[in-house]
């Protein structure tokens, strides 16, 4: 079931994130895949790692003992994510994929508690504070996200109405292999049943409600598939546009990592804290979600197009709250 797969991915992420050293493959199997046979475990574990990596999770592989070439272990280093304590940028929200939409559901809250409890009971040192990294404030805005995500986990076909710029709405059918965020947008990747070829569909162009059709486990995902590589081949790169941001001191770590220059102690929108001016070589309206995720800690100076998008989304959000 999709829920089981999603919950298992979240547990694996948490197990690798809260540890204080590498977790062995045997320990991961014991705690997370106890009922799986050898072949089934290898298949599920490799697929789960690939799924997390496709969502942007930097899974690190290393040896448990630095002085001996022993069994490899796995971990996710919080410092590699470069996240602030309680906020995520749009790209970094890939870390938990669908958890950006369902984190607060009781089922996944229980999954979090269980994952940490199992590690602690097994004698693995844990840092529960790392869980702050996976409490996203930004979700997938596209209504079709859940349908495609669940269908990809259940290997179930999806039928939907799709409209490209300047074209009429057309009904399409796909066997989704996965959902990925690329260049600030969400895409479904899979086999286009109308064309018989792999294709990428931008979820924001789905019209109305997407519909799962047919039975689960109706197809197999190609072996060795890299859905991010498929997306890169079909989606042209976003044109680079320099962006200038005012970022509150101590925040906006993702932006600071990407900045080409940082000017400290500049005049900002308020005087409650210090501000820095960051120049990012990449940019465009795709950064709007990342800016919004940081709340009042990030302000857009340039370009005007990005600032306009941020203001428009804030205005629509406020209108929705007051409705």
Burial 89-108 (b: 16+ CB within 10 A, else e): bbbbbbbbbbbbbbbeeeeb
pLDDT on residue 137: 36
pLDDT on residue 65: 61
Of 206, 111, 194, nearest in space to 149 by CA:
206
Record the pTM.
Answer: 0.46
Q: Which CATH architecture has domain 145-234?
A: Roll (2.30)
The residues spanned by each domain of the chain are: 2-134, 145-234, 243-322
pLDDT on residue 36: 87
Measured in degrees and rounded to the nearest 5, phi and psi for residue 270 equal: -145, 170
Query: Is 196 buried (19+), middle (13-18) or exposed (0-12) by CB count in 10 A?
Result: exposed
**C-beta of residue 189 within 8 angstroms of C-beta of residue 231:** yes
* Other Cβ atoms closer than 10 A to 295: 11
CATH topology of domain 2-134: Arc Repressor Mutant, subunit A (1.10.10)
> What is the H or E stretch that residue 15 is in?
helix 2-18
Provide the CB-side half-sphere exposure for 190 (13 A, CA).
Answer: 28
Of 131, 12, 128, 139, nearest in space to 83 by CA:
131
**C-beta of residue 156 within 8 angstroms of C-beta of residue 215:** yes
- For the chain of 323 residues, list the mean pLDDT of each consecutive stretch of 10: 65 76 85 88 88 77 64 74 42 40 41 54 52 42 82 93 90 94 82 95 92 93 87 75 89 82 91 91 66 85 85 75 40
**C-beta of residue 238 within 8 angstroms of C-beta of residue 184:** yes
**C-beta of residue 144 within 8 angstroms of C-beta of residue 203:** yes
Query: Is 193 buried (19+), middle (13-18) or exposed (0-12) by CB count in 10 A?
Result: middle
Separation between Cα atoms, residue 87 and residue 202, nearest integer Å: 25
């Amino acid at each position: 079931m999709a829920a089981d797969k999603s919950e298992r991915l979240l547990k694996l992420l948490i197990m690798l994130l809260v540890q204080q050293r590498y977790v062995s493959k045997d320990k991961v199997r014991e705690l997370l895949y106890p009922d799986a046979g050898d072949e089934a475990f290898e298949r599920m574990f490799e697929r789960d790692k690939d799924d997390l990596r496709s969502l942007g999770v930097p899974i690190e592989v290393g040896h448990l003992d630095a002085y001996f070439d022993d069994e490899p272990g796995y971990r996710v280093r919080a410092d590699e994510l470069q996240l602030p304590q309680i906020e995520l940028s749009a790209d970094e929200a890939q870390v938990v994929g669908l958890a950006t939409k369902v984190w607060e559901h009781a089922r996944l809250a229980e999954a979090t508690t269980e994952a940490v409890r199992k590690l602690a009971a097994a004698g693995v040192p844990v840092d529960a504070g790392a869980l702050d990294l996976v409490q996203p404030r930004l979700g997938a805005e596209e209504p079709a996200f859940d349908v495609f995500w669940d269908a990809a986990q259940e290997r179930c076909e999806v039928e939907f109405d799709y409209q490209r710029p300047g074209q009429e709405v057309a009904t399409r059918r796909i066997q989704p292999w996965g959902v990925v965020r690329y260049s600030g947008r969400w895409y479904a990747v899979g086999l286009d049943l109308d064309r018989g070829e792999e294709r990428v569909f931008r979820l924001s162009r789905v019209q109305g409600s997407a519909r799962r059709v047919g039975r689960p486990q109706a197809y197999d995902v190609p072996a060795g598939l890299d859905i991010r590589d498929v997306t890169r081949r079909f989606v042209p790169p976003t044109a680079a546009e320099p962006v200038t941001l005012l970022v509150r001191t101590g925040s906006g770590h993702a932006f600071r990592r990407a900045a080409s220059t940082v000017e400290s102690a500049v005049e900002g929108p308020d005087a409650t804290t210090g501000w820095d001016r960051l120049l990012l070589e990449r940019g465009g309206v795709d950064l709007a979600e990342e800016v919004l995720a940081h709340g009042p800690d990030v302000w857009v100076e340039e370009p005007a197009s990005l600032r306009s998008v941020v203001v428009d989304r804030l205005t629509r959000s406020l209108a929705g709250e007051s409705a």
